[in-house]
Amino acid sequence: MTTDAIKDRTGAGVLGRTLGRMLGRQGSGTQFVMGAGLLAAALWALNGGPFLNLVGQSCAVYAVAAIGQSVLIGSAGQIALSGAAFMAIGAFVTGSLAGTPLETFPFPLLICAVVGWLVGLLSGLPGLRFRGLYLLLSSLALQFMVTAVTKNYQSARHPAGLEVPPLHIGPLDVSTGQSFYIVLITLLATVYLVVALVERTGVGLAWRAIRESEEAAAVSGVDAVRWKLYAFAMSGAITAVAGCLMAYLVGRADYETYNLNLSIALITMIYIGGIRSRLGALTGAVIITALPYILQLRLPGWLAGLGIDANWYTENQSIANAGLFNLLFLLVVLFEPEGVQGLLGKAERLLRRTLSGRRTGRTTESPA
């Protein structure tokens, strides 16, 4: 999408040209399939009853977090393993606002965004001096620091976790089922659009340039320091908002939820879906969030069908799933670094080649 940032869009034929370009470009089919698939899944979850509503709610919350991470890691090309820390910040801010005048929605959400922005900005400061491994280590330090602080705070004041009141918008109780799901999807769409708009302003192009080479971007006139910090800040704000939503989803903030495994899971999401796009982040979030539910429901049956005892899996589900995700992550990094989007892209290229091959075979004209 950022490709369009410096294209001319004057004249009345914008729609026609946009459509023509959208369909003509390699990758447009992939985007269409992913978008349509996500939309279908979203509608299915909406009308599929309480259980699917619940799965859909988790997917939406993690999708917001995945977009937050993809801004930093996918768009701006930075390295960080602190997604869970920012979610924890969001959840704990929301939890500690409970019982204060600011517990009214959307105050917690906005405050989370501001706090996440500020902490994100701070977390980006080491990135001005360090790259690669050192940056990764500093993000790990943040992760452990936040875990330590939230753990102490929690055990000192609320051993069972900070309680978060059911979500109300005005007089309306939207804390469960379809209504909560709709709220989450609306917020997800908003976050998605905001990021898309920001990237359109040219910031997206600046991030891409920084991702490819910071020095080369700076030499080309891009204020690499500034846009890098904005990527950290924006990612922090969005991920903290996801933490806030997570707190509403489970009704409490508990430090144990937001551990390093969650940070890794968030990274896995954006890699599995396709690191290069927000659509990929959404897809990855849905896959990684929904997979455990599917496995939990179906895997014992499948294993039994194969004559394998499923007890071990049912008893060690979280470990088994974590192992499975790590394996998936490895497979993606090794064989398809662009994730689901990359796979679909390859299929599309093949299809396009076959189709255009047939067309040029029939007519004698060939493109110059």
Partner 1 sequence: MNADSEVKTDARRLRVDGVDVDLGGVRILRGVTFDVRPGEVFGIVGPNGAGKTTILNVIDGIVRPSAGTVRYGDVDLCRVRPHDMRKHGIGRSLQSTHYFRDLTALQLVALGELPNSIVGALRFAGHRKRRKAQAEARDKGMEALRQFGLEQYANRPLSELSSAVQKLVDIARAVVTGGELLLLDEPTSGVSGHERGGIGEALRRLRTLGRTIVLIDHDPGFVTGNCDRLMAMNFGEVLDVGLPDEVMSSEAVKRSYLGESANTDVGIERDL
CB 241 within 8 A of CB 64: yes
Task: Decide: is 226 part of the binding site for partner 1 (CB under 8 A).
Answer: yes
- Residues 6+ away with beta carbon under 8 Å from 111: 93, 97, 102
Of the candidates 113, 75, 78, which has an alpha carbon nearest to the alpha carbon of residue 94?
113
Q: Does 129 sit near partner 1 (CB under 8 A)? A: no
Binding of residue 219 to partner 1 (CB under 8 A): yes
Q: Among the candidate windows 6-14, 90-98, 143-151, 238-246, which touches partner 1 by CB under 8 A? A: 6-14
Question: What is the distance, to the nearest Å, from the Cα of residue 29 to the centroid of all Cα atoms in its chain?
Answer: 21
Q: Indicate the residue among 86 and 227 with the shorter CB distance to partner 1.
A: 227
| Nearest distance, CB of residue 110 and partner 1, angstroms | 18
Q: Is 200 in the site for partner 1 (CB under 8 A)?
A: yes
Q: For partner 1, how many residues bind (rule: CB under 8 A)?
A: 32
Q: What DSSP character marks residue 367? A: -
Structure-block tokens of residue 251: 């009704």
223 binds partner 1 (CB under 8 A): yes
By CB under 8 A, residue 221 contacts partner 1: yes
CB of 219 to partner 1, least distance (A): 5
Among 3, 100, 186, 296, binds partner 1 (CB under 8 A): 3
Q: Which of 1, 169, 216, 304 binds partner 1 (CB under 8 A)?
A: 216
Residue type, 19: L
Q: Does 365 help bind partner 1 (rule: CB under 8 A)?
A: no
Rounded Cα distance, 365 and 368, in Å: 9
Which amino acid type is present at position 163?
E
Do 310 and 294 touch, CB atoms closer than 8 A? no
Return all residues near 128 (Cβ < 8 A) that are at least 6 apart.
225, 228, 229
Stretch near partner 1 under the rule CB under 8 A, chosen from 8-16, 171-179, 323-331, 337-345: 8-16
Residue type, 197: L
Q: What's 276's DSSP letter?
A: T
- In a 13 Å sphere around the CA of 143, the CA atoms on its Cβ side amount to 20
Tell me how far, at minimum, the Cβ of 341 lies from partner 1, in Å: 14
Q: Round to whole Å and give the CA distance between 302 and 308.
A: 9
Q: Does 215 engage in binding with partner 1 (CB under 8 A)?
A: yes
Q: Which is nearer to partner 1, 228 or 252 (CB)?
A: 228
Cβ proximity to partner 1: between 314 and 356 the closer is: 356
Cβ distance to partner 1 smaller for residue 224 or 282: 224
Q: Which two tokens stand for residue 269?
A: 């999401």
Residue pair 253/91 in contact by the 8 Å Cβ criterion: yes
Assess 203 for contact with partner 1 (CB under 8 A): yes
Nearer to partner 1, 145 or 216 (CB): 216
Torsion of CA 330, 333, 336, 338, to 10 degrees: 130
Judged by CB under 8 A, the stretch of 59-67, 167-175, 203-211, 277-285 that binds partner 1 is 203-211
User: Is residue 202 involved in binding partner 1 (CB under 8 A)?
Assistant: yes
State the residues that interact with partner 1 by CB under 8 A.
3, 5-10, 197-198, 200-203, 205-206, 208-209, 212-213, 215-226, 230
